[in-house]
Amino acid sequence: MPPTTTASAARAESLVKRYGSGQTAVTALDGVSIEIPAGSFTSVMGPSGSGKSTLLHCMAGLDSTDSGQVWIADDEITSMGDRQLTKLRRDRIGFVFQAFNLLPVLTAARNVTLPLDIAGRTADRDWLATVVETVGLTDRMSHRPSELSGGQQQRVAIARALVSRPAIVFADEPTGNLDSRASAEVLDLLRRCVSDFGQTVVMVTHDPLAASYSDRVVFLADGQIVGTLESPSPQTVIDRMRSLADANRG
């Protein structure tokens, strides 16, 4: 199928991913096709082992696939080599992880500009200022990660994800290690990235409240997409999760 020219930030087609081999083989993704429209905020939900993290890793070029294709914007990435893929992650993709994953030896400011530093590029001053202001850490930029709170660290991580104006930001359980207040700050920030900057965000979460910040929720079970929910609220997400669990049981 030729790539469509609609404004999709990322797209997956019949993704299959297996771990192990023979009797013990586990199929983490079993023919997943998904399209992420540009400028949208998508949540991926599902029970443990449903393949939601694997989907994120494969779409972000962190993990290889067994079959199927992935596009970031118009670039097909499943055929790329490590060098090319690394460059793609550096220039086109932003990451936010559950464990913040900041480098302890760098200041917050240097952590934010890390992808640019690695590429040997200088940051666009205005954009950098905007990003830092948006995450609300202008006065904490000279601190080291160990001197910041969890929420502050995650906001630094978000700034880092935004700094290279990527085509898409992948967030893997970004609130998993945070208390409710810090979680709300981080989610609000991600929401504003989408609304104010037109940034595309895909977030893996298991928290219905977190999912309610997004435009659309994609539900995964046993490596397959089992449903979507537009304009979710915490209650509609919980209801859908319950009905999916019941269907599974029945």
Residues that bind another protein (CB under 8 A): 53, 57, 60, 62-63, 82-83, 86-87, 89-91, 95, 97-99, 101, 103-106, 110, 114-115, 117-120, 146, 160, 172-173, 176
Measured from the CB atom, the residue of 92 and 240 that comes closer to another protein is 92
Residues 55 and 59: their CA atoms lie apart, in Å, by 6
What's the closest the beta carbon of residue 23 comes to another protein, in angstroms?
A: 23
- Residue 219 φ then ψ, to 5°: -100, 135
The 10 Å CB-count burial string (b at 16+, else e) for 218-250 is bbbbebebeeebeebeeebbeebbeebeeeeee
Measured from the CB atom, the residue of 57 and 140 that comes closer to another protein is 57
Residues 232 and 217: their CA atoms lie apart, in Å, by 7
What's the closest the beta carbon of residue 61 comes to another protein, in angstroms?
A: 9
Angle, helices 150-162/180-197, rounded to nearest 10 degrees: 20
Measured from the CB atom, the residue of 71 and 95 that comes closer to another protein is 95
What's the closest the beta carbon of residue 161 comes to another protein, in angstroms?
A: 9
Measured from the CB atom, the residue of 70 and 229 that comes closer to another protein is 70
Helix ranges (H only) for 39-169 are: 52-59, 82-92, 108-112, 114-119, 125-135, 150-162
What's the closest the beta carbon of residue 5 comes to another protein, in angstroms?
A: 27
The CB density around residue 63, as the number of other CB atoms within 10 Å, is 15
What are the tokens at 54?
């694997």
Measured from the CB atom, the residue of 82 and 246 that comes closer to another protein is 82
What's the closest the beta carbon of residue 77 comes to another protein, in angstroms?
A: 13
Task: Give bridge partners of residue 26 from the DSSP assignment.
Answer: 19
HSE of 149, CA atoms in CB hemisphere, 13 A: 10
What's the closest the beta carbon of residue 204 comes to another protein, in angstroms?
A: 11
Measured from the CB atom, the residue of 90 and 216 that comes closer to another protein is 90
